[in-house]
Amino acid sequence: MTADAVLRAQGLTKRYGGLVANDRIDLDVRAGEIHAVIGPNGAGKTTLIGQLTGAVRANAGRVHLAGRDVTALSPARRARLGLARSFQITNVFAGFSALENVAVAAQARAGHSFRFWAPADRDADLNARAADALAQVGLGRLADRPAGALAHGQKRRLEIAMALVQAPRVVLLDEPMAGTGPDEAADLLALLGQLKGRLAMLLVEHDMDAVFSLADRITVLVEGRVISAGAPEAIRRDPAVRAAYLGTDEAAPGAAGAR
């Protein structure tokens, strides 16, 4: 555990009845790095994301965000403290325009919204920041389009813009590649590569190409436990990982592909 960890989980445990979903998970994300979490289906990745964001209450363990204990805080409070996320299933405000989706994210970060009179959609500051974030993800031209009318890959990028505009300390990306076609996936990969170094990211992803090309460190979860953690090369060589996760396909990294 290093001192510059922006997000740190210690001993996170979640039990559903008798079923242990997560068992004493330790994990940290350092400033500027991409830390990937991989594991087969049912490994507890979704539960972990839930615990980190606050949507799922942990039975035991603590979560620190930039050194502050946020274990007891709601998702909204954690977000305001700098924890942004994207969702596994595309999750945007379908009725809002692309720009307004990002502007509303910027608004959420800009402090409370108890402002009752001035029109929000003419707020130059919010709009400028939203437009900037949209441009960064390559959606500048589509700012006025209703988010519901965007193509799938565009929605994924919109989600990343919503995270970016919040200038977060760390972003949790929950399977950003899920459901994208090969071209879209390549675009997204390039985009995440550009952002690397500027932003701390926790990446949960099934696409092994993406994981091994992007991640600085990888944590492998199997049945709710961390079985291995370290640099990609070490993970690639770890026999326990090969057995538990890549065992079905010896050629593994690179071959697992998108779901």
Partner 1 sequence: MDEAATRRRRRLIYGGLVGFLLVLPLLAEAAGQGFYISFATRVLILALAASSLNLILGYGGLVSFGHAAYVGIGGYVVGIAFVHAGDGTPILGLLPGGTDALVLLAAAMAVSGLVAAVIGAICLRTRGVAFIMITLAFAQMLFFFLVSLRRYNGEDGIAVWQRSTLPGPLDLNEPVQFYYLVLGLLLALLYGLNRLVASRFGRALRAARDNEGRAQALGFSTFRYQLTAFVLAGAVAGLAGALLVNATGFVAPSYLHWTRSGDLIVMVVLGGMGTIAGPTLGAAALMGMEEFLPELIDALHDGAGDYWKIVLGPLLIVIVLFARRGLAGVIEAAAGAGALRLPRLIPRRPGQPPRRRRTRR
Q: Strands 5-16 and 60-65, how do they pair?
A: antiparallel
At its nearest, how many Å lie between partner 1 and the CB of residue 168?
10
113 vs 194 by CB, closer to partner 1: 113
Residue closer to partner 1 (CB basis): 166 or 219: 166
The CB-of-73 to partner 1 minimum distance in angstroms stands at: 9
Q: How far apart are CA 193 and CA 176, in angstroms?
A: 13
28 and 21 Cβ atoms separated by less than 8 Å: no
- Chain positions contacting partner 1, by CB under 8 A: 53, 55, 72, 74-77, 79-80, 84-85, 87, 91-96, 100, 104-105, 107-109, 113-121, 123, 146, 148, 162, 166
C-alpha R_g of the chain:
18
Q: Which is nearer to partner 1, 11 or 148 (CB)?
A: 148
Cα distances from 181 to residues 22, 34, 36, 38, 142, in angstroms, run 31, 23, 21, 20, 20
Edge-to-edge order in the sheet of strand 5-16: 19-30, 5-16, 60-65, 68-69
Least CB distance to partner 1 at residue 69 (A): 15
Residues β-bridged to residue 16: 19
Nearer to partner 1, 122 or 198 (CB): 122
Q: Of 159 and 207, which has the nearer Cβ to partner 1?
A: 159
Shortest Å distance, C-beta 225 to partner 1:
26
Task: Tell me if 170 sits within 8 A of 197, measured CB to CB.
Answer: no
Contacts of 127 (CB under 8 A, 6+ apart): 99, 103, 121
Is the CB of 123 or the CB of 216 nearer to partner 1?
Answer: 123
- As measured in angstroms, the least distance from the Cβ of 45 to partner 1 is 17
Which residues neighbour 94 within 8 Å (Cβ) at sequence distance 6 or greater?
146, 147, 148
Q: How far is the CB of 9 from partner 1 (least distance, A)?
A: 18
